[in-house]
Structure 1
């Protein structure tokens, strides 16, 4: 079969080769999760052989379709990632077929469009972000600052805090990160206009008591509170994978789990997506106020329907009246996305500091 396909690729007219590429790509993408190793190798071998003869438009289509496929061959992924930016962007942004060293090499050698695409990857090692910050122009630096999955070295963090003095986008992005020190957090606030400084410092003060309560009481609350994992049509780990890969939303998952009063798995989802220990999420979930839950949900982009369903499940678990639920919903609508992200960042920074102090 391999020889037949390769012969077709070599002997056919450009139009037939184009259709063959479409056919092979369709087969590969459709069955990527079910093919055996031999079949995957076959498709990759054909695509590797045909890449040099593809036109730019078809390369772009192939790149877009293969970028989410983890079993795409390294050779195909790297060649497409090294091409012109419209072709390279999907691979640079999402492909897991590219190795860490590939990303570093491309960051060191490619142009600004490629650097910007790399800066949007879900995870970047500090050695890569250092190169991006060193070589990249303002849009690249801003993108690194806004990417919570981009690790920052000490040098990279200091550089971005310094750049934030004259770049509002970097400053606003850095103040939503959880990997800045409290000293740097204070520097970032001090760079804001006076009115914004006053607002965010007030937000921090109002939430300091919640953070300290979470830290000191979380383990006790978890030990004394029994949230049961109840039967539901949705599997929490599958839901998490779907959310991360863009096949579902957190709000949809919360709605389905809340209908079954499955607060246990909701805590798991929120903890994983917020990057917090589940004991802290359990603590805010069983509290009689909704401040912590509202901040988490708004910062993670939960829509009103998802939050309403969660509020009803929380109220049922805590035996609270419907009027309380409505108050929670009203407060949620007044909370802005930006303020929620800043509050979540503050919570994570402070909890990290308290954990270090207690160690």
Structure 2
């Protein structure tokens, strides 16, 4: 430590009479000496360097402090008081490196920074390798869209459920933020559903377009579940059947899900989805299925413009059409059935109290 002692003596002389260039030079020499022998220093040695650096920090030009911050940011046993002093600087060029990278900064200190400093400081905190729930909460509460996007995209950040819900609220009309939310493996299911329920059409379409295949399936399934739930809720409120609720914003997604529901053997959900899209009472669709009216199912599928692959799944899943011969016959009838005819039959069905299997056959 002989070199350090002589530097301290020189430090006092330089601070008294030296120029800004000389002061910057001695800080550089002090920091270089510290970094060169860092593995050999104990706590007492580090404390000496801390004293020296603190003497200089308030008297050194900006560029020297920026350099010092970048040097100390990754050091795990860096001078504690100096690091905190740099992190507390209002100049983000000085404070940013240690805020984002230093492991010395305590959670309490970071929470206070997040509560009081600029958006640039919050963005630096949002980029840390690991962020606790208390810090994340403040970042989301005070942060602008850029900060919220950055911390949400940081998979080292931990979120409480209430904070996740706040992010979901912000993401309703913010496509990039919504993408970050659904990309997280730790987002609670109810938050995931809340976001998709409240999101604008533009955001929903963006999520479906950009999501990976597995995530796209989850989004589609959730949107279909939401549509069914909305229908049920409306039905309970106004006394009408679930299918009587027009679910404009989710109709296309609900239709895309019908084949999957049928193939999975989800009879009730498939019936409710068909009823919702055809605007028929659920009881009517159930009656068609119960009678084994293949022609009726074909008409229902055609009226909601299902493609043959999905219509085939419906016939097999809830209509009992299993053999190759039956499927081939159904295909020929489906291809020959026009949308105009199917819609005419559906209009007639809506005007009737009941319709039989024979009625469907006569009307084709």
**Please, what TM-score do these two structures have when normalized by structure 2?**
0.52
Q: Where in structure 1 are there 5+ consecutive unaligned residues?
A: 208-359
Q: Distance in 2 between matches of 1:81 and 1:74?
A: 11
Q: Aligned equivalents of 1:68 and 1:59: distance in 2?
A: 15
Pair 1:40 & 2:40 matched:
no
Measured after TM superposition, the shift of residue 193 of structure 1 is: 3.6
Question: Comparing 184-193 with 130-139, which one deviates more in the overlay?
Answer: 184-193
Q: 1:126 to 1:206 in 2, by over 3 A?
A: closer
State the Cα deviation string for residues 211-247 of structure 1 (Å, max 9, x = none): xxxxxxxxxxxxxxxxxxxxxxxxxxxxxxxxxxxxx
Aligned partner of 2:85 in structure 1 is 79
Q: Are residues 92 and 8 of structure 1, via their aligned partners in 2, closer, same or farther at CA, if it must alter by over 3 Å?
A: same
Give the distance between the partners of 2:60 and 2:213, measured in 1 at CA: 58
The answer as to 2:124 corresponding to 1:109 is no
5+ residue gaps, structure 2, are 219-364
Query: What is the aligned partner in structure 1 of residue 10 from structure 2?
Result: 8
Return the offset for 1:100: 1.3
Q: 1:6 Cα deviation (Å)?
A: 2.3
Which of these residues, 208, 211, 218, is aligned with residue 197 of structure 1?
Answer: 208
Q: What displacement does 1:205 show?
A: 8.3
Instruction: For 1:1-359, list aligned pairs within 5 A.
Output: 1=2, 2-12=4-14, 13-14=18-19, 15-83=21-89, 84-188=91-195, 191=199, 192-194=203-205, 196-197=207-208, 200=211, 202-204=213-215
CA shift, 1:159, in A, is 0.7
What SS does structure 1 have at the residue aligned with 2:56?
A: helix
- Alignment check: 8 A CA contact 2:49 2:79 kept: no
Count of residue pairs the alignment pairs up: 207
- From the CA coordinates, give the structure whose radius of gyration is larger: 2
* Greater RCO, 1 or 2 (C-alpha within 8 Å, sep 6+): 1
* Partner deviation per Cα, 1:169-220 (whole Å, 9 max, x = no partner): 211111111111223334445644447537858525889xxxxxxxxxxxxx
Quick check: 2:178–2:207 contact (8 Å CA) kept in 1?
Answer: no
Q: 1:193 to 1:135 in 2, by over 3 A?
A: closer
Give, in whole Å, the separation in 1 of the partners of 2:61 and 2:43: 28
Asked whether the equivalents of residues 112 and 136 of structure 1 are also in contact (C-alpha less than 8 Å), the reply is: yes
State the Cα distance separating 1:128 from its structure 2 match: 1.0
**Structure 1 residue 76: Cα displacement:** 0.5
Give the drift of 1:18.
1.8
Partners of 1:100 and 1:161 lie apart in 2 by: 25
> In structure 2, do the counterparts of structure 1 residues 173 and 196 end up closer, same or farther at CA, with 3 Å as the change threshold?
closer
Shift of residue 3, structure 1, vs aligned partner: 4.6
- Contact 1:119-1:144 within 8 A present in 2 as well: yes
1:164 counterpart SS class? helix
Check conservation: 1:8, 1:17, Cα contact below 8 A: no
* TM-score, length basis structure 1: 0.53
